[in-house]
């Protein structure tokens, strides 16, 4: 088959697929502009003004998503700053549809043995991304496991449950971590807890996919997380996630209908009450819109209450928020004013243990850095956990890849595998620590 025939074939398939489910329709006419020069200050200002969506997440962004509404203004700002650029994607909706069809056909080629229905979903899917409904089917079935309790910590704006999974240390007694002397065994210890958060940014699909794998592994393997109580919220932004399946694959925020604005949504990871407002957008159209006040959103309120509750029952040793992308492990603070954070060196050391382990599994390169070195971001769950809850270790993990949120399904399993290996080492180190706070 000649290449043009292949192209037409793909295009026709794209049209057919788009009728069935079009989660690119809100990206029609969106473009990607590639800047010829790095200019972090100008890009940050465009982000704060709600005019662009920066698409590079492992350093200063030179790729920007620009909507038809903002293109004129963005061009003016870039011209004034003397920045030249090329339009590298003319229509993001069309571009993503074509790429998605190629991905889906690759998945179809493999023999798919995994299922997840309301009556049968005994493990998270690793050969494809799960819908929110499928996540709920899995969590419902997981709840019958003796070491697990699944409960709702509250509802999203559109009324969906935000689920928390508590994996209890009971049931794995007598299997203290290797090297753990009786002096530090469970009975002598203050209850130590770990908190993992996934899916707060809707488009980062790999985050809940990996977080669910972590839940499954800890639940079914007593060697992982021994000596720790683990709490996981695998999907912190269910409305936004559903929107990425129905309307806009690149949707990030929640589904708040902002009064007096044509733009919806609040960035749930800029809505926390620590350094609130700095390094976030005050404009509802901004991808990092912080909301009308700290904790204005039901999703962040629910997470806050649950974290306070967990913190009151023991020592919160580590909080990790799982995001994508960039292959980075970030530690507080993301807001510039409060650095350095308490236990900065310890966070760095434990973080190095994590990334060094992760990097060996599939030869990917993750790096550790202070969140503020990447770009200023405040009002995040990581900073709140550190600054207010005084969690000794707080991290934001940016998963694969280094260039896009739209990660192929065949990367779900290896990404989960590398993170699990890293977490195993981290959990062991946490369980062995003598002093807690």
Q: How far is the CB of 171 from Zn ion (least distance, A)?
A: 33
| Cβ nearer to Zn ion, comparing 201 with 424 | 201
Q: How far is the CB of 266 from Zn ion (least distance, A)?
A: 14
Choice from 57, 97, 160, 201 touching Zn ion (CB under 5 A) = 201
* 203 sits near Zn ion (criterion: CB under 5 A): no
Separation of alpha carbons 133 and 143, rounded Å: 16
Tokens linked to 198: 């996934």
251-269 in b/e form (b: 16+ CB < 10 A) is: bbbbbbebeeeebbbbbbb
Work out whether strand 367-370 and strand 328-331 pair parallel, antiparallel, or are unpaired: parallel
Spatial CB neighbours of 76, under 8 Å, sequence gap ≥ 6: none
Q: Let me know if 398 is a catalytic residue.
A: yes
Catalytic residue among 398, 411, 418, 433: 398
Span near Zn ion by CB under 5 A; candidates 46-54, 200-208, 302-310, 348-356: 200-208
| Residue number with CB closer to Zn ion (198 or 422) | 198
Least distance between Zn ion and beta carbon 402 (Å): 15
State the minimum distance, in angstroms, from the CB of residue 201 to Zn ion: 3
Show Cβ contacts of residue 365 under 8 Å, excluding neighbours closer than 6 positions: 327, 359
Residue 28, number of CB atoms within 10 A of its CB = 13
x/- map, 282-321, Zn ion, by CB under 5 A: ----------------------------------------
Residues 145-174 contacting Zn ion, CB under 5 A: none
Scanning 10-18, 77-85, 198-206, 209-217 for contacts with Zn ion by CB under 5 A, the matching segment is: 198-206
Nearer to Zn ion, 270 or 323 (CB): 323
Min separation Cβ 114 and Zn ion, Å: 26
Which of 164, 397 has the CB closer to Zn ion?
Answer: 397
CB of 323: closest distance to Zn ion in angstroms?
A: 3
- What φ, ψ does residue 234 adopt, rounded to 5°? -75, -25
Q: Which of 39/299 has CB closer to Zn ion? A: 299
Stretch near Zn ion under the rule CB under 5 A, chosen from 96-104, 194-202, 297-305, 429-437 = 194-202
Nearer to Zn ion, 219 or 380 (CB): 380
Sorted by sequence, the CB contacts under 8 Å of residue 358 that are 6+ apart come out as: 364, 366, 418, 419, 421, 422
Structure tokens at 294: 């700290």
Q: Min. distance of Cβ 284 from Zn ion in angstroms?
A: 19
User: Which segment (175-183, 186-194, 199-207, 237-245) binds Zn ion by CB under 5 A?
Assistant: 199-207
Provide, rounded to whole angstroms, the least separation between the CB of residue 430 and Zn ion. Answer: 24
Size of the site for Zn ion (CB under 5 A): 2
Q: Which stretch binds Zn ion (CB under 5 A): 54-62, 196-204, 346-354, 359-367?
A: 196-204
Nearer of residues 323 and 386 to Zn ion, judged by Cβ = 323
Choices 1-9, 193-201, 365-373, 415-423 (CB under 5 A): range interacting with Zn ion: 193-201
What is the spatial distance between Cα 259 and Cα 387, in angstroms, rounded to a whole number? 31
Among residues 283, 290, 323, 386, the one that binds Zn ion under rule CB under 5 A: 323
Residue with tokens 């592994």: 217
Q: Which is nearer to Zn ion, 366 or 427 (CB)?
A: 366
Task: Give 193 or 244: the residue with its C-beta nearer to Zn ion.
Answer: 244
Minimum Å gap between C-beta 200 and Zn ion is: 7
Residues involved in catalysis: 398
Binding interface with Zn ion (CB under 5 A): 201, 323
């Amino acid at each position: 088959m000649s290449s043009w025939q292949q192209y037409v074939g793909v295009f026709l398939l794209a049209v057919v697929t788009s009728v069935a489910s079009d989660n690119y329709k809100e990206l029609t006419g969106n473009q990607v502009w590639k800047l010829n020069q790095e200019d972090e200050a100008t890009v940050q200002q465009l982000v704060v003004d709600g005019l662009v969506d920066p698409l590079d997440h492992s350093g200063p962004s030179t790729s920007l998503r620009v909507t038809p509404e903002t293109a004129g203004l963005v061009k003016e700002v870039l011209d004034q700053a003397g920045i030249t650029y090329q339009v590298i994607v003319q229509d993001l909706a069309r571009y993503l549809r074509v790429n998605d069809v190629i991905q889906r056909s690759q998945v179809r080629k493999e023999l798919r043995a995994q299922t997840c229905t309301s009556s049968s979903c005994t493990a998270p899917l690793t050969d494809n991304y799960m819908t929110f409904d499928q996540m709920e089917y899995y969590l419902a079935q997981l709840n019958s496991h003796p070491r697990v309790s699944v409960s709702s910590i509250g509802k999203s704006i559109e009324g969906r449950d935000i689920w928390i999974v508590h994996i209890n240390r009971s049931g794995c007694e007598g299997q203290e971590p290797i090297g753990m002397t009786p002096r530090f065994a469970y009975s002598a210890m203050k209850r130590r807890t770990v908190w993992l958060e996934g899916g707060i940014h809707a488009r980062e699909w790999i985050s809940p996919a990996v977080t669910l794998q972590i839940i499954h592994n800890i639940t079914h393997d007593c060697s992982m997380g021994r000596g720790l109580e683990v709490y996981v919220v695998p999907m912190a932004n269910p409305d936004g996630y559903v929107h990425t399946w129905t309307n806009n694959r690149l949707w990030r925020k929640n589904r708040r209908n902002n009064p007096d604005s044509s733009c919806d949504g609040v960035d749930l990871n800029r809505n926390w009450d620590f350094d609130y407002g700095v390094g976030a957008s005050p404009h509802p159209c901004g991808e990092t819109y912080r909301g009308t006040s700290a904790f204005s959103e039901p999703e962040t309120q629910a997470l806050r209450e649950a974290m306070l509750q967990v913190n009151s029952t023991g020592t919160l040793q580590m909080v990790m928020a799982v995001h994508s992308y960039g292959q980075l492990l970030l530690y507080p603070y993301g807001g510039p004013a409060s650095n350095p954070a308490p236990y900065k060196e310890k966070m760095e050391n434990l973080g190095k243990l994590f990334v060094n382990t992760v990097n060996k599994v599939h030869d990917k390169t993750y790096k550790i850095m202070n969140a503020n070195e990447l770009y200023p971001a405040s009002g995040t769950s990581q900073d709140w956990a550190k600054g207010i809850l005084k969690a000794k270790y707080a991290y934001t993990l940016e998963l694969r890849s280094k260039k896009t949120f739209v990660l192929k399904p065949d990367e779900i399993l290896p990404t989960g595998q590398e993170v699990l290996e890293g977490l195993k080492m981290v959990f062991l180190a946490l369980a062995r620590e003598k002093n807690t706070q």
